[in-house]
Amino acid sequence: MSSQSKLRVIQWATGGVGKAAIECVRNHPQLELVGCWVHSADKNGLEVGRITGTGDLGVTATSSVDEILALDADCVMYSPLIPNDDEVIAILRSGKNVVTPVGWVYPDPDNARHQAVADAALESGVTLHGSGIHPGGITERFPLMISGLSSAITHVRSEEFSDIRTYNAPDVVRHIMGFGGTPEEAVNGPMASLLEAGFKQSVRMIADHMGFRIEPNIRTIQEIAVATSTIDYEPFPITAGQVAARRFRWQAIADGEPVIEAAVNWLMGEENLDPGWNFGGVGERFEVEITGDPPVKLTFKGLQPETIAEGLIKNPGVVVTANHCVNAIPDVCAAEPGIKTYLDLPLFAGRPAPRIAAETS
């Protein structure tokens, strides 16, 4: 593919995922970064390379939505902290495809908000694809793939075990995730609703595609552990009695028993917790497990940093979230209009490093 025929990509927001997405676009032979929307006035007008720390990229960031919508581009990688339906509808109506890690993994056609987004895509002749990693990949794409190795399946599980101290977004950790506050603040905070919007879609995708007969309501279980004494977390203190670990689990029920489960375990380390949760002696990881004939279990390592210090520089979990979206862009742009899930798209893949990549025409 020549430079003239590369797909033109806009990056929406430049948090950790946004910065990683820009790097993936730069590495992808079919893609070209042509625009960047930023939330902060401090970033408005900056060369994007100054924001990412990668040297000049020939693109200037803007905080003007109108400027971004007017730009000639094929696709927007939409990665704000919290999704906004009106923003997504405006992007779609401007004639741009969208990939995003913040929703629409498996939208509910009976949900009026989801349908409004789908209508905007259809009427504008463009496509939206929700991706990511958990949810957005390990939660449904990979369980579905490895389920093909088994039969007579009775249970499907996808689960994350992460040390949240490596997540370099202290404001999110404190005010969105609820760490360092009281258990009551955490339970009543926004995290559960933000998570369940995605994870319930993932669970339903598995149930629908594999053919499980489940009850209408997905069960949500939320647990909290508090610090028994001060925990070493540099951005802000976590003292005795404050939230230091959180667990969420979403279960699809059949015959009174969970048959599909998605879960996250976020710990501020493994010390000074009540209850005394830990990673089970095998460290941070993601797991996908199929209970059937035969049972199959897949463990993902390397998606979490080896040390806290490394995670604060470059967190692999954030990077893979971005990559999984960006690598889908060529197939999303080629797809029929509407909201398309993994069930609708061909099997897309990453690309080799330029020095060992095949020639493209």
Which positions ≥6 away from 115 have C-beta within 8 Å?
109
Q: Are residues 105 and 176 in the same domain?
A: no
In a domain, 226, yes or no: yes
Q: What is the predicted pLDDT for the residue at 4?
A: 57
Q: What is the CATH number of the domain that holds 183?
A: 3.30.360
Q: What is the predicted pLDDT for the residue at 1?
A: 45
Q: Are residues 147 and 288 in the same domain?
A: yes
Nearest-angstrom CA–CA distance, 21 and 134:
17
Q: What is the predicted pLDDT for the residue at 360?
A: 63
Q: Are residues 23 and 102 in the same domain?
A: yes
pTM above 0.85, yes or no: yes
In a domain, 311, yes or no: no
| Distance, CA of 19 to chain centre | 14
Q: Are residues 83 and 34 in the same domain?
A: yes
In a domain, 309, yes or no: no
Report, as ranges of residue numbers, the positions in the chain whose pLDDT lies below 50: 1-2, 361
- Give the ranges where 188-296 is alpha helix by DSSP (H): 191-210
Q: What is the predicted pLDDT for the residue at 2?
A: 45
Q: Are residues 260 and 157 in the same domain?
A: yes
In a domain, 260, yes or no: yes
Q: What is the predicted pLDDT for the residue at 310?
A: 84
Q: Are residues 155 and 278 in the same domain?
A: yes
Nearest-angstrom CA–CA distance, 43 and 5:
29
Q: Looking at the 3D structure of the chain, how many domains does it have?
A: 2
In a domain, 307, yes or no: no
Nearest-angstrom CA–CA distance, 262 and 282:
19
| Distance, CA of 21 to chain centre | 12
Q: What is the predicted pLDDT for the residue at 268?
A: 96
Domain of residue 154: give its range: 141-302
Q: What is the CATH number of the domain that holds 84?
A: 3.40.50.720
Per-residue pLDDT reduced to its tens digit, 232-256: 898 888 999 999 999 999 999 999 9
